[in-house]
Amino acid sequence: MSLRLYPSCYPMNTVAIFPVKFWRYQVEWKVGSSQELVSDLAELWIEVIGLFAGLIGVIAWVPQIREVWFTEKHEGISLPTFGLIATALSAWLVYGVLVRSLSIIVANLAALGCISLIILGVVRLRGYD
């Protein structure tokens, strides 16, 4: 018997956001070989590593958010560059949804939120209409 606890690739039939179905976590007992257990654990660790990398990437934006929103310094921030970064993150988000990678989806949603906060703060400080 092996315990499988990982993001399942089986879509839930009850939860759909637009045409994209998100998946559930499943705990399942099954009789299987130790090789299957190793494979399942490898999949779990790959997602954990991806989530950790995404967390570090999001934490990296926190000083910039603080600089814009709390100290109100916006000099040197290029809005076209941040727009391009937001476009790249959006493309990665679409890719994550297509390949059903929880870590890619979560990391890019969080990073897009950070980038959006920075862009909104700069627009507010510069007085664009």
Give the architecture-level CATH label for domain 2-126. Answer: Up-down Bundle (1.20)
Cα 45 to Cα 39: distance, rounded to the nearest angstrom = 10
Share of the chain above pLDDT 70, in %: 70
Q: Where residue 77 falls among pLDDT bands split at 50, 70, 90?
A: very high
Is the pTM above the cut of 0.95? no
Cα 79 to Cα 64: distance, rounded to the nearest angstrom = 13
Label residue 34 exposed, middle or buried (CB < 10 Å: 0-12, 13-18, 19+).
exposed
Report domain extents, the chain.
2-126
Calculate the CA 69 to chain-centre distance: 23
Q: Alpha-carbon Rg of the chain, whole angstroms?
A: 19
Estimate the crossing angle of helix 102-126 against helix 34-59, to 10 degrees. 10
Identify the residue whose tokens are 């926190």.
62
Tens of pLDDT, residue by residue over 109-127, are: 999 999 999 999 999 999 8
* C-alpha dihedral (30, 34, 38, 39), degrees to nearest 10: -60
Q: Decide: 93 and 105 in contact? Cβ < 8 Å.
A: yes
